[in-house]
Structure 1
Amino acid sequence: MSSKTKIVVLHMKEVIYTAIFLILAVVAVILLVVMFHGKNSREPNSEATVSTSVNQYTPGVYTSSIELNGNSFDVQVTVDKDHINSVELINLSDVTTAMYPLMEPTLEDIASQIYATQSTENIKYSDDNKYTSMLLLDAVKSALSKAEVSK
């Protein structure tokens, strides 16, 4: 019976490189999981509940002005007796659109939430466009305050 002894030679450089690549792969996987999992938690709740207090509006079209660095434009809100029908930007120049490219997509996101809940309460927005959302939401609230029926 003869046993053959095998000798394995590992170069320390190869071991170190392999360990580094394994660590980088694990970090990349963790980073991807955190990025995509965090994005889902920031999305607005699709099961938004309609507010129990129904606001009564005077039917019509109401506007609120916004001025940014000398460029002004309006947020227009159209309402009927008890519904918010549309929210849109008007008088938005090409210069303003170029300087503030997040205005239109942010308003579309806010408007879809307003249509679903018929309220400006509990509107969710991402951290990427927080200040743009707050500015537009304040303008929408200002226009709606003009539409509310005095009791």
Structure 2
Amino acid sequence: MTDNALKLDYQLCHRFYTVANAFTRAYRPLLRELDITYPQYVVLMALWEKDQVTIHQLLEKTHIDGGAMSLILKKLTQKSFVQVIHDQHDKRVKRVVLSDYGKKAKHTAQKIPQQMRCNLKNISDEEGMELIRLIDKVSDDLHTTLCEADTQ
């Protein structure tokens, strides 16, 4: 092990941690008008893309933890964005359906991506797409590869 192995300047994970926090802070004022959090926004974006999905499909699309998803859906239901209903064909399955209010909120949210893009003025569109590609690779690796810890 080198001396650099434990320095923050060499830690990819710390970069992701600080960027995730910065994104959350940057989104907060943009989401204020809708009175939602960033995780709630992620769920709504998935539903605006495809409505009336099962909770399982929503978990797969958003990669949000099941326990967190339950809390998010509870809040979105309380705020009248969605309804969680039993599937007509299988009562064990629950579907998430946008309410009229949730559908109308998409119009308000239309400006958010461009507003957020303005916060990333040092990143070109091409660099942004490259970042997405690289982050997806990191995510795929972390979800599929588990290295054994060196126990010596």
- TM range, normalised to the smaller chain? under 0.3
Using structure 2 for the length normalisation, give the TM-score. 0.20
Q: Which has the higher contact order (CA 8 A, sep 6+)?
A: 1
More strand by share: 1
TM-score (norm 1): 0.20
Q: Highest CA radius of gyration, 1 or 2? A: 1
- Structure showing the higher helix proportion among its residues: 2
